Amino acid sequence: MTAIFGSGGSSERRGLSIAENEALAAEEARYAAQIGADFEAMARLFADDLVYVHSSGAVDGKATYIERMRSGALIYRGMRKSNVEARVFGPVAILTGIGHFDVTVDGKETVARVLFHSIWVKTDSGVRFVSWQSTPVPVKT
């Protein structure tokens, strides 16, 4: 965990703790940055060691994820979430819910409806997005 918390020990030992509303606000800021193609905001919000697992199974890090959006290969036209729950463990917040994303991938418009985990960590330099994992919502037959 030294990549997240630095060499001085864990954030929890130094007394840092994330509040549920901080994590939810950070997630909202991330959605706004992605829809608005605000790459500077994404660079600030995303941890350097971000692991982003798309519902397709593709995996990106911070640099590759931002570059895919910057190049236009990945465009978020709309991002909504529902049924969001937050669990807080000291400096770590785990958000779960359902995402509804209007996205263009490699020129093809699609709508993704996914179940997700979004993980945020509070560090000395702020709240950082460290991990995302999503899977398509099962289709009911």
pLDDT, tens digit (0-9, with 9 covering 90-100), for 94-139: 999 999 999 999 999 999 999 999 999 999 999 999 999 999 998 7
DSSP state of 21: H
What is the maximal distance between C-alpha atoms in the chain? 53
| Helix intervals (H) in the chain | 2-5, 20-35, 39-45, 62-71
Q: Which residue has the tokens 């490699």?
A: 106
Task: Please write the tens of the pLDDT for every residue from 78-98.
Answer: 999 999 999 999 999 999 999
Q: What is the structure's pLDDT at 12?
A: 44
Q: Alpha-carbon distance 92 to 128, whole Å?
A: 10
Round the average pLDDT of the chain to a whole number and report it.
90
Q: Alpha-carbon distance 120 to 92, whole Å?
A: 6
CATH number belonging to domain 2-73+84-98+115-136: 3.10.450.50
- Burial of residue 87 (number of CB atoms within 10 Å: 0-12, 13-18, 19+): exposed
